[in-house]
Structure 1
Amino acid sequence: MSEAQQNEAPEPGSRHRRVRSRRARVLRAIAFTTAGLVLAGIGTAGYAYWKLNGNIKSVDIDSQLGTARPSAPADGSFNVLVLGSDSRSGANGSLAGGDTGSTARSDTAMVVHVAQDHRTATVVSIPRDTLVARPDCSAPNGTAVPAAKNVMYNSAFEVGGAACAVKTTEQLTGLRMNHYVEIDFAGFAGFIDAIGGTTVTTTVNIHDKDSGLDLPTGTHHLNGQQALAFVRTRHGVGDGSDLGRIELQKQMVKSIVQQVGSAGLFTNPAKLYSVGDTLTRSITTDSALASVSALTSLAQELKGIGGDQLTMVTLPVATAPSDPNRVVPKAPQAGQVWDALRADQPVPDAVLHSQPANPAATPSP
Structure 2
Amino acid sequence: MTYSGSNYRGSASVPPAGGGGGARVAAAAAGGPTRRGLIGSGIGLVASIAAAGGGFALWSTANRANADLDRPFDLDAIPEEDRPEKTNEAMNLLVVGSDHREGNEEADARSDTNIILHVNESGTEAYGISIPRDLYVHIPEYAAASNYPEYTGSDAKFNAAYAWGGVPLTVLTIESLTGVRIDHVVEINFDGLIQVVDALGGVTMDIEAADADGYIGDAPGVTSIHGDHYFFPEGPNLLSGERALDYVRQRKQWARGDFARMQHQQELIKAIMDSALSAGVLTDRGRLTSFIESTSDAVKVDTELNVIGTAINLMDLRSDDLVFLTTPNLGTGDEGGESVVLYDEETGASLWEAVVDDEVGAWIEANPKDEGE
Q: TM-score range by the shorter chain?
A: 0.7 to 0.9
Q: Please list every run of 5 or more consecutive structure 2 residues that lacks an aligned counterpart in the other structure.
A: 1-15, 17-38, 210-220
Please tell me whether residue 27 in structure 1 is matched to residue 40 in structure 2.
Answer: yes
What's the secondary structure of 1:137's corresponding residue?
coil
Distance 2:280 2:313 in 1: 21
Distance 2:170 2:208 in 1: 36
How far 1:252 moved relative to its partner? 1.8
Please tell me whether residue 56 in structure 1 is matched to residue 70 in structure 2.
Answer: yes
Which residue number in structure 2 is paired with residue 20 of structure 1?
none
Which residue number in structure 2 is paired with residue 127 of structure 1?
132
1:92-171 equivalences under 5 Å are 102-139=107-144, 144-145=149-150, 147-171=152-176
Which residue number in structure 2 is paired with residue 40 of structure 1?
55
What's the secondary structure of 2:108's corresponding residue?
coil
How far 1:278 moved relative to its partner? 1.0
Tell me the TM-score normalized by structure 2. 0.76
Equivalent of residue 249 in structure 1, options 256, 265, 270 = 265
What's the secondary structure of 1:33's corresponding residue?
helix
Identity %: 27
Which residue number in structure 2 is paired with residue 233 of structure 1?
250
Distance 2:63 2:106 in 1: 36
Please tell me whether residue 310 in structure 1 is matched to residue 315 in structure 2.
Answer: no
1:183-332 equivalences under 5 Å are 183-202=188-207, 204=209, 205-210=221-226, 212-236=229-253, 238-239=254-255, 241-289=257-305, 294-318=306-330, 319-322=332-335, 323=337, 325-332=339-346
Which residue number in structure 2 is paired with residue 180 of structure 1?
185
Distance 2:187 2:131 in 1: 15
What's the secondary structure of 1:284's corresponding residue?
strand
Shift of the 49–119 alpha-carbon distance from structure 1 to 2, 3 Å rule, reads closer
RMSD: 2.8
Which residue number in structure 2 is paired with residue 19 of structure 1?
none
Tell me the TM-score normalized by structure 1. 0.78
**Residue identity matched to 1:200:** M
Distance 1:153 1:264 in 2: 39
Shift of the 351–83 alpha-carbon distance from structure 1 to 2, 3 Å rule, reads farther
What's the secondary structure of 2:97's corresponding residue?
strand
Distance 2:131 2:70 in 1: 25
What's the secondary structure of 2:115's corresponding residue?
strand
Name which of structure 1's ranges 258-267 and 151-160 shifts more when overlaid on structure 2: 258-267
Shift of the 52–177 alpha-carbon distance from structure 1 to 2, 3 Å rule, reads closer
- 2:100 touches 2:109 (CA, 8 Å); kept in 1? yes
Shift of the 229–143 alpha-carbon distance from structure 1 to 2, 3 Å rule, reads closer
Distance 1:213 1:182 in 2: 27
Shift of the 158–304 alpha-carbon distance from structure 1 to 2, 3 Å rule, reads same
Total equivalences in the alignment: 317
Distance 1:173 1:108 in 2: 17
What's the secondary structure of 2:324's corresponding residue?
strand
- 1:135 touches 1:146 (CA, 8 Å); kept in 2? no
Which residue number in structure 2 is paired with residue 68 of structure 1?
82
Name which of structure 1's ranges 79-88 and 134-143 shifts more when overlaid on structure 2: 134-143
Shift of the 67–43 alpha-carbon distance from structure 1 to 2, 3 Å rule, reads farther
Which residue number in structure 1 is paired with residue 349 of structure 2?
335
- 1:208 touches 1:235 (CA, 8 Å); kept in 2? no
Q: Whose RCO is larger (CA < 8 A, sep 6+)?
A: 2
Which residue number in structure 1 is paired with residue 19 of structure 2?
none
Shift of the 303–49 alpha-carbon distance from structure 1 to 2, 3 Å rule, reads closer
Shift of the 67–271 alpha-carbon distance from structure 1 to 2, 3 Å rule, reads farther
Which residue number in structure 2 is paired with residue 81 of structure 1?
94
